[in-house]
Structure 1
Amino acid sequence: MTLETSRIRLGGAPVDLLEFDQAVELIAGRALGGAELPLGVVSINLDHIHHFGDGSSLYGDFGLRSGPVGDIEWLNLADGAPLVEQARRLTAHRWPRLAGSDLIGALLARAERDGSSVGFLGGLPSTEKELNRRLLAEYPALELAGCWTPSREQLADAAYSCALAEEIRNVGVDILVVCLGKPRQELWIDHYGALTGAKVLLAFGAVVDFLAGRVERAPRWAADNGLEWAWRLAKEPKRLFRRYLVEGPAAYRAVRRSRVS
């Protein structure tokens, strides 16, 4: 089954252009099954362009062709003001920013309604209890299949990752929210996602920390005005300085050079 979306390339990465409700409907529908391949959902932002775009060390490692790649079919959603603004310039249509942190609430509500089971991979072991508590309070009928919080060292071990994927398969997860950070989460899904048996795998970065209340989300005014990066940088300068102020400008220039093919 090939995704029916309008696809352009920004900074060397594919971007599927969808409205918010279309994206939720497509992802939730795939969680109910019926497709030959699992669906991997990735947020395309400047950090993604840095890791996977033109001239990057990982260019061509996954998801760059239209349609199925290996055992995963990828849906590439525009996340970030520079990408949606360049998409508007190229298509003469104002597309929404589809960040995982914006989509996750609607997707969990749909999973609760549809009876789709959800699992989380990533985050710290200390956040698991609070994540469970908050999800139970907000989505009382949601089927939470499990939470897995492996270390980076464990995930670097292929045998461990295969065993972890098998454990997830045995539990039965329809939607696996993978929060390992770029580029680790995309590569893990590409290498091991099909082994998990999940119908949908969401590469959603810090979503597990947002849901657990460990990390505060940027206020709406900052996100709406393209200033979420500045808000996050102010909150976590040591961790995010290089991403936003060293790596980000080159990725931004690559996006602005993009043209419709």
Structure 2
Amino acid sequence: MTSVVDHPAARPGTALVADHAAPSRIRMGGVPVDLLDHAGALSTIRARSVATEGRPLGVVSVNLDHLHWFGRGAPLNGNFGIREGAGAPVSWLHLIDGAPVAEQARRATGRPWPRLAGSDLAGPILAAAEADGVSVGFLGGSPETHEKLRTALATLYPGLAIAGMWAPPRTVLLDTESADTLAAEIAAADVGILVVCLGKPRQELWIDHYGAASGARVLLAFGAVVDFLAGRVTRCPEWVAHHGLEWAWRLALEPKRLARRYLVDGPPAYRALRHGEDA
């Protein structure tokens, strides 16, 4: 029987379903893409968060920025970036994020697939963790953001167990010994789900190298989600996201930080997505 958990934070159509089928996987722009709807993605993540054995699950958002860093011809393509296969320390779920990737998936398969942005999935994932008694930790962001995040989470998910929040400077992330110590601290905190908000490509590389050592069962490479949850950055209106213009909304809010991503790196990644041959 299928069980469903509804929560106010979940948008319509994103109820959490316990049973799920294994996703189909295709390649676009040189990277894997797992074809799932909202319910399938959420149930897959939820099942792994309560699993007692097996490799940790890393969840990555596939958008144009991801293709820029990890796509065909990029320096981090293949085993230089995210290691795949039975011998890899982390198993990966590659979710569609971004209108161009969703549209290309539709062209490739002949049916529509939804965008599965981390900012939309975070709410129902946290709701399920609260219901299941799974502890959650956050890696990335600033101490000031973490203060706001704790307040917001206490209101939205009063029963959620927060295992810890870490805001390491870049020097810690770049130093092998310090990074090993950080992973050990997270493991000692017994984190079930670790939300990794270090920005691409650092968050994916950190999960690839330290995900297993962190002891977390699920690691979410969800970029700016910590800022959205803390209320530091405002999400775009629903109609803006529906028309594939969330990138323009974010660019208007943070032009200095995001101009290169969207205006310089984005167009070549889009061309590679549309015109490259996929395996």
Who is 1:10 aligned against?
Answer: 28
Is 2:80 aligned against 1:70? no
| In structure 1, C-alpha distance between the alignment counterparts of 2:51 and 2:227, rounded to whole Å | 28
Is 2:240 aligned against 1:222? yes
Who is 1:95 aligned against?
Answer: 113
Q: Give how far 1:68 is off.
A: 3.9
Q: Which has the higher contact order (CA 8 A, sep 6+)?
A: 1
Who is 1:203 aligned against?
Answer: 221
Q: Give how far 1:121 is off.
A: 0.3
Residue-pair matches, total? 258
Who is 1:37 aligned against?
Answer: 55
Who is 1:140 aligned against?
Answer: 158
SS at 1:209 equivalent: helix
| In structure 1, C-alpha distance between the alignment counterparts of 2:50 and 2:98, rounded to whole Å | 29
**Aligned counterparts, 1:229-240, within 5 A:** 229-240=247-258
Who is 2:4 aligned against?
Answer: none
**Aligned counterparts, 1:1-261, within 5 A:** 4-60=22-78, 61-63=80-82, 65=84, 67-68=85-86, 70-259=88-277, 261=279
SS at 1:217 equivalent: coil
SS at 2:60 equivalent: strand
SS at 2:139 equivalent: strand
Instruction: Return closer, same or farther for 1:259/1:94 CA change in 2, 3 Å cut-off.
Output: farther
Q: Give how far 1:161 is off.
A: 0.9
Q: Percent identity?
A: 60
| 1:185-224 deviations in Å (ceiling 9; x for gaps) | 0000101110010000000000000001111111111111
| In structure 1, C-alpha distance between the alignment counterparts of 2:192 and 2:169, rounded to whole Å | 23
1:13·1:64 contact (CA, 8 Å) conserved in 2? no
| 1:37-92 deviations in Å (ceiling 9; x for gaps) | 00000001000000000111211123364x44521001000100000000001101
SS at 2:124 equivalent: helix
Name structure 1 gaps, 5 residues minimum: none
Q: Give how far 1:154 is off.
A: 1.3
| In structure 1, C-alpha distance between the alignment counterparts of 2:177 and 2:197, rounded to whole Å | 20
Give the TM-score taking structure 1 as reference length.
0.96
Q: Give how far 1:116 is off.
A: 0.6
RMSD of aligned Cα (Å): 1.3
